[in-house]
Amino acid sequence: MHMPALREDLRGLWLLVIWDLNRMKSRTLFVVMRVSWFALQVSLFGLALSAMVRFRAIAGTNLDYYHFYLFGIYTSMLFSISVSKAYDIAEEFEEGTIEYLLSLPFPRRVLALGRSIGGGIASFLFTLPMFAFIVYLLGSYDPVALTVSMISALAFSIGVVGFVLTVVLSLKSSDSTDIAFGLLDAILVRLSTVFYPALVLSKIAPYYYAALVNPLSHMSDLLRTIFFFEEFKAIAVANPDLMAAYVFGLAVGLSTLAVLVVEKAVEGGGWK
Amino acid sequence: MSKSGEFRSIALIVYRDLTRFWKYKFWLAGQIGMNLADILIYALVFNNMVNTQLIPDYFKFFTTGVIAIAAFASAFSIGREVGIEIRREYTHYLLGLPFTRWVLITGRILGGTLRGLIYQSSFILLAALLVGVPDLYGWLLIAVTSTALSASMSGLAIAISSSTKDFNLQATFRALTYYIFFFFSNVFYPRQVLAMRFPKPLAEAIGYMPVSIAADIYRWAFRYNLEIDIGQRFLLLMVWTTGMLIMASLIYLWNLTRG
């Protein structure tokens, strides 16, 4: 590729990322609601759950369930906020913004990648206050753990937004988007190690195997092992290297899928 | 307007609200999926982790409790529409229709109540299948409890949504109320668990929230927990329902006519 073309592509990518970040301002209410939900989850729901489970006996760790839960609930929040991009994209389709973006003078691959990265960064930034809050509750401020976990969270978010982009642009329907992502969110969060370790899930075989391939399991267990390796290594779905590879593979794979779909299949109009 | 005319008008308003309910079939499908996933995945798996000395059977505990959440969530959906009507000043059209304001208020609350009952019925049948079939008295209690809970939540959602024309404020008030009823209830955890982690007054107060009271009655009716003082719980629910319906009706009436 010629350098000017590459420079143009990078400029387009940058503009799209900025565009997605600017749209964050219109979602203040959404953030307020999510933060309230999160605050109640960790201060009431999480503490109550940790009082009623036999976590140390089951997991054989010297940490209590609340530590386990905090990483899980952060992952589920990151996932839900990234998935909520689906509703934004559906709205853009209804308003004709997608057609406008498709007509802009940069390649489709730049559009797909720019929206995946921009949406991923915006979703990750939304969850930063929540991430800071759980770090404060855990009392673990290891700079390496903080950096690696934030990079992983960003990669995870980019992957999920790439997937969302692919699905919404393929479905081209507000109703189908609503039901598909509502159900996906409900099922994936529960069929993962967000609330319970793989060890407990292993008592129900189909749930266990679903959790093993579920990206939420890999992300939440990766965060757990980044911060408390010794305590959580035995109950994670895989070793940390594999989980990290899974999360980064997810980001690259799903963004590439978004590029392929936007390049080959997406046309303006036809929204149902 | 004659009494029969009033009943006919109420029936028409309720019918209109019910037909609109089916427009939200995609929202409903998502909600059903979430509640089913809660029972068939979350509760089933969590059952293997819970301290059985505190909760002998978490699956049954949760399945009976989720019925209360189901009624409250779907009855709450009417608030969204009332909010749109207030914002678009469509309420002037409603007030111009040939029936009294009380007929309108009764019809709207009843519409929300029926939404709650319709949605919840599938979860009651599922609980009967998974937990056990209640006796005749149990069914009666379930029917009255569901009606009372749905009516009070429908009234509450209408009162909240009509309190401001600002969309953001409407959605925030509704969501915050929803979160408070959702988390500050004993659907997910019993009172003794709350008492272990939180100050006793808070744990006690959560036990007196309407969703908690309804969950207790369902647990009694499905014979999961027969140690509940059912008379006291039932009386409390009726007090809550009466109070909330009066308050909600007055607030809605005031919001409809304040110009």
**Are the C-beta atoms of B103 and B256 separated by less than 8 Å?**
no
- pLDDT value, residue A270: 66
Looking at residue A2, what is its pLDDT?
61
Instruction: Find the angle CA(B13)-CA(B17)-CA(B21) to the nearest 5 degrees.
Output: 165
Query: Rounded mean pLDDT of B25-34?
Result: 80
Q: What's the confidence (pLDDT) of residue A221?
A: 97
User: What ranges make up the beta strands (E) of chain B?
Assistant: none
Mean pLDDT on A55-63: 80
What are the phi and psi torsion angles at B50 (to 5°)?
-75, 145
> Cα–Cα distance between B45 and B35 in angstroms, integer?
15
pLDDT band at A64 (very low <50, low <70, confident <90, very high): confident
* pLDDT (tens digit per residue) in A28-54: 777 777 788 888 889 889 999 999 998
Q: Out of A45, A186, A196, name the one closest to residue B46 (CB).
A: A196
Query: Distance (Å, rounded) from C-alpha A136 to C-alpha A146?
Result: 12
Q: Is the pLDDT of residue A219 over 70?
A: yes
Query: Which residue, B183, B187, B177, B135, is CA-closest to B153?
Result: B177
CA of A28 vs chain B CAs: smallest distance (Å): 9
Nearest CA in chain B to A42: B183
Which stretch of A84-93, A205-214, B32-41 has the lowest confidence by average pLDDT?
A: A84-93
Q: How do residues A149-177 score in pLDDT, each as one tens digit?
A: 999 999 999 999 999 999 998 888 877 78
For a pLDDT cut of 70, what percent of chain B falls above it? 99
Q: How is residue B29 annotated by DSSP?
A: H
Model confidence at A3, in pLDDT bands (50, 70, 90)?
low
Flag whether pLDDT at B77 surpasses 80. Answer: no
Q: Which of B26, B38, B189 sits opposite A49 (nearest CB)?
A: B189
Q: What is the pLDDT of residues A75-123, one digit of tens each?
A: 999 999 999 888 888 888 778 888 888 888 888 899 999 999 999 999 9
Residue B39's pLDDT is 92
* Per-residue pLDDT at A172: 80
Contact B133, B228 (CB under 8 A): no
Q: Is B246 exposed, middle or buried (0-12, 13-18, 19+ CB in 10 A)?
A: exposed
Q: So what's the pLDDT on residue A72?
A: 96
Distance CA A36, CA B173 (A): 11
| Contact between chains at A182 and B51 (C-beta distance less than 8 A) | no
Quick one: pLDDT at residue A269?
65
A150/chain B closest Cα distance in angstroms: 28
Q: Do B33 and B131 meet the contact criterion of CB atoms below 8 Å apart? A: no
CA dihedral B162, B163, B167, B168 (to 10 degrees): -140
Contacts of A54 in chain B (CB under 8 A): 49-51
In which band, very low, low, confident or very high, does the pLDDT at A255 lie, cut at 50, 70 and 90? very high
The answer to whether B202 faces chain A, any CB pair under 8 Å, is no
For chain B, give the number of residues.
259
The secondary element (H helix, E strand) that includes residue A107 is none
The reported pLDDT for the residue numbered B11 is 95
DSSP structure string for A38-89 = HHHIIIIIHHHHHHHB-HHHHH--SS-HHHHHHHHHHHHHHHHHHHTHHHHH
Q: Assess whether pLDDT exceeds 90 at residue B205.
A: yes
Does A27 contact chain B (CB < 8 Å)?
A: no
Of A216-225, A231-240, B26-35, B211-220, the least confident? B26-35
B222-231 residue pLDDT tens: 999 999 999 9
Q: Report how far residue A212's alpha carbon sits from residue A193's, in angstroms, rounded to the nearest whole number.
A: 9
Average pLDDT over residues B196-208: 91
Residue of B nearest to A38 (CA): B179
pLDDT surpassing 60 at residue A127:
yes
Name the pLDDT band for B41 (thresholds 50, 70, 90).
very high
CB-CB under 8 Å, B189 with A182 = no
Q: pLDDT category, B259, cuts 50, 70, 90?
A: low
CB contact under 8 A, B50 and A53: yes
Residues B186/B148, Cβ–Cβ less than 8 Å: no
pLDDT of amino acid A183: 83
Instruction: Identify the band that residue A264 occupies on the pLDDT scale cut at 50, 70 and 90.
Output: confident
Side-chain-facing half-sphere of A130: CA atoms under 13 Å: 30
Interface test with B, best of A190, A191, A192, A204 (most B CBs within 10 A): A190
Mean pLDDT over the full length of chain B:
89
Of the candidates B168, B171, B153, B112, the one whose C-alpha atom is nearest the C-alpha of residue B248 is B153
**Facing B45 at nearest CB: one of A28, A176, A196:** A196
Tell me what pLDDT residue A272 has.
67
Which ipTM did the prediction report?
A: 0.82
